Amino acid sequence: MEIQLRVRRYDPESDPAPHWDEFRVEAEPSDRVLDLLHQVKWYQDGTLTFRRSCGHGVCGSDAMLINGRNRLACEYLVKDAGSRVTVEPVRGMRVIKDLLVDMDGFWDKYRSVMPFLVNDEVPTDGLERRQSPEERDRFEDTSKCIMCGACTTGCPSFWSNPDYVGPAAIVNAHRFIFDSRDTAAEERLEIMADADGVWRCRTIFNCVEACPRGINVTRAIMEVTREVSGTGHG
């Protein structure tokens, strides 16, 4: 089948403003939007720029706006996208070129929530920190995050205030705040209590719709917000 692919292009070094380029690409219904971009990059226009790595929905690097919604190009199938596919860079981040955006601020916010296990105590048996299935289930949902940024770049609160720490960072704070093995929950809650922390969320639910892993992002944000309020950090 023939696909009409419209790509929003922009090179800050040479373009006065973003513009649209159209390409016609032959594809199978089982192909992915990433395959369409590869066809253009390899055979029609080698200057097309986008980010991708594993190609299997694990690394999260190829998040982009496809037919108006945040998706992973490596997961979204042509049969679902239709014969006319529109691709744009995610919103709220500076465009470096074409579909490639500057993620530095995103990663700074991620690092700010201490996204790692903190525990200097020696395990009672000297070997491991045991956890019950119930304790593990407490943060199971947020442990699925692949840091694609789809939730954050789909958030109107982030669009209006780039200083907002964003859904992805809060999800990763949640993953450790509710981990029974971790000892730094209070420190993370102080970070979350900042004016640009959890209080910026307006429960619009765009983040839930955007997440390719099916994480209930808004619920995680609300759970962290309740912890912030309950411990007097708010």
Per-residue pLDDT, averaged over 192-197, amounts to 96
Q: Which uninterrupted H or E stretch holds 124?
A: none
Per-residue pLDDT, averaged over 139-161, amounts to 97
pLDDT score, position 234: 55
Which of the four pLDDT bands, split at 50, 70 and 90, describes residue 128?
A: confident
Per-residue pLDDT, averaged over 2-16, amounts to 97
Residue 231 has pLDDT above 90, yes or no: no
Are 98 and 48 a contacting pair, CB within 8 Å?
yes
Reported as a single tens digit per residue, the pLDDT across 30-48 is 999 999 999 999 999 999 9
Which burial class, exposed, middle or buried, applies to 57 when counting CB atoms under 10 A from its CB (0-12, 13-18, 19+)? middle
Per-residue pLDDT, averaged over 137-166, amounts to 97
pLDDT score, position 125: 79
pLDDT score, position 233: 59
Reported as a single tens digit per residue, the pLDDT across 66-81 is 999 999 999 999 999 9
Domains contained in the chain, CATH given: 2-101 (3.10.20.30), 104-230 (1.10.1060.10)
